[in-house]
Amino acid sequence: MQVTYWLEHAWLDPEVEPGVVVEVSQDGRIADVRTGVDTPPPGATVLRGLTVPGLANAHSHAFHRALRSTVQVGSGTFWTWREVMYSVADRLTPDTYHALARAVYAEMALAGITTVGEFHYLHHAPDGTPYDNPNAMGEALIAAAAEAGIRITLLDTAYVSSGFGKEPDRHQRRFSDGTTEAWAERATLLKDRDHARIGAAIHSVRAVPADQLDTVAEWAGTRGAPLHVHLSEQTAENEACLAAHDCTPTRLLADHGVLGPNTTGVHNTHLTDEDIALLGGSGTGTCMCPTTERDLADGIGPAVALQKEGSPLSLGSDSHAVIDLFEEARAMELNERLRTRTRGHWTAAALLRAATADGHAALGWNDAGRIERGALADLTTVALDSVRTAGPVPRLGAETAVFAASAADVRHAVVGGRHIVRDGRHELVGDVPGALAAAIGALRA
């Protein structure tokens, strides 16, 4: 059944247009886009505010949502934060992870996120024993996304070492398949479906030995699947890589065939000029996660230089200190302003592109992230009459969304033509705060 939406204002990259009709065909794709339609056609669903393509959260660890506020007590470093994270990971089962992820993905939908890239490495039971279904945890995440109404790219993650060849510690046993060959056998059992695509990830150069990197790269390359990797998030990782291999993590990945247009480096924070040239020259993407990077005191990555060299930018909420892609986009620009003491490194349109089309491309959804014929009918509508967004003229809607709005201003989310969030209420998960509280509380029991 064809569905018609009338958008009061729509961001049709790079301009904002008033009165836009979007026709959605039975396959959930945009069949037609018409501008200059002053009043809603009969039977059309009205989306008041500014409608942009659905947002893509290119880097998520769903279980980190249980850490919110808990890890804000006291001080410490990334490494002390990691110990708290491990303690939560130890308590998850397929059932409890499904309940938590369903609630987290519903929170994402309320924030206008219609696709998530889940960087997934909680594969086995806490002692490392595989479940009867070796992909029980991954399947729980795929099911959770379906029940929350959003798309997912499950980035099944290879993690076989605690650091440059060392055996996994007691917390990391459930992450490891032993070898990347065993990882590939298990990951191959996962299959794409309408709302889900399967990709790969290398947790980091410390977690996958150099002589096993090519196994993961070849697995992804054979399938044309996206490949993600945590890269140079911490200076300690760089120093350890130099000690072990006499090169930077980026150079190590380049030498083992990991870089390329289907690969995305997550964080890319502490890079040399040569690293930036290697990433940009190979077309490797960069996923910045500013709210997590600042929360963990990681540093500010060279996003401007990376993009100038040819590295496409995407955005992720990573540890979910907050889930707000507008804040991620805004923070990327504002961080750069603080560092350089100059303004205007990206236009609002460029930042929205990172949160939409380029984010979807990084996750293997090249047919999403645009409001145009043939694209998947994924839409996010931001109120232009809240206390944060009221006042500016509608033609500055992109600037309003990026530099003033928050996730709280999302009024509608549409996925494949299906209304998932309507007037700020999730249509499939009736009580999202309650679901979050219950799922997180169960991990404390």
Query: Which active-site residues does the annotation give?
Result: 267, 318
Which tokens is 396 given?
A: 């500055």
Number of residues that make up the chain: 445
The one-character DSSP state at 2 is -
109 contacts: CB under 8 Å, gap ≥ 6: 148, 149, 150, 413, 415, 420, 421, 426
Closest to 317 in 3D by CA, of 61, 80, 40: 61
Q: Give buried/exposed letters for 150-167 (b at 16+ CB in 10 A, else e).
A: bbbbbbbbbbbbbbbeee
- My answer on whether omega of the bond before 14 falls inside 30° of 0, hence cis, is yes
State how far the alpha carbon of 110 is from the alpha carbons of 19, 323, 381, in Å. 24, 10, 11
Query: Cβ(412)–Cβ(422) under 8 Å?
Result: yes
160 contacts: CB under 8 Å, gap ≥ 6: 168, 176, 177, 178, 179, 180, 183, 207, 208, 209, 212
State how far the alpha carbon of 284 is from the alpha carbons of 98, 344, 346, 382, in Å. 32, 24, 20, 31
| Planar angle of CA 280, 286, 291, nearest 5 degrees | 145
The one-character DSSP state at 29 is B
Using CB atoms within 10 A of its CB, is residue 326 exposed (0-12), middle (13-18) or buried (19+)?
A: buried
Strands 3-12 and 45-53, by their bridges, are: parallel
Q: How far is it, in rounded angstroms, from Cα 268 to Cα 113?
A: 23
Q: What's the start-to-end Cα distance of the chain, in Å?
A: 46
347 contacts: CB under 8 Å, gap ≥ 6: 14
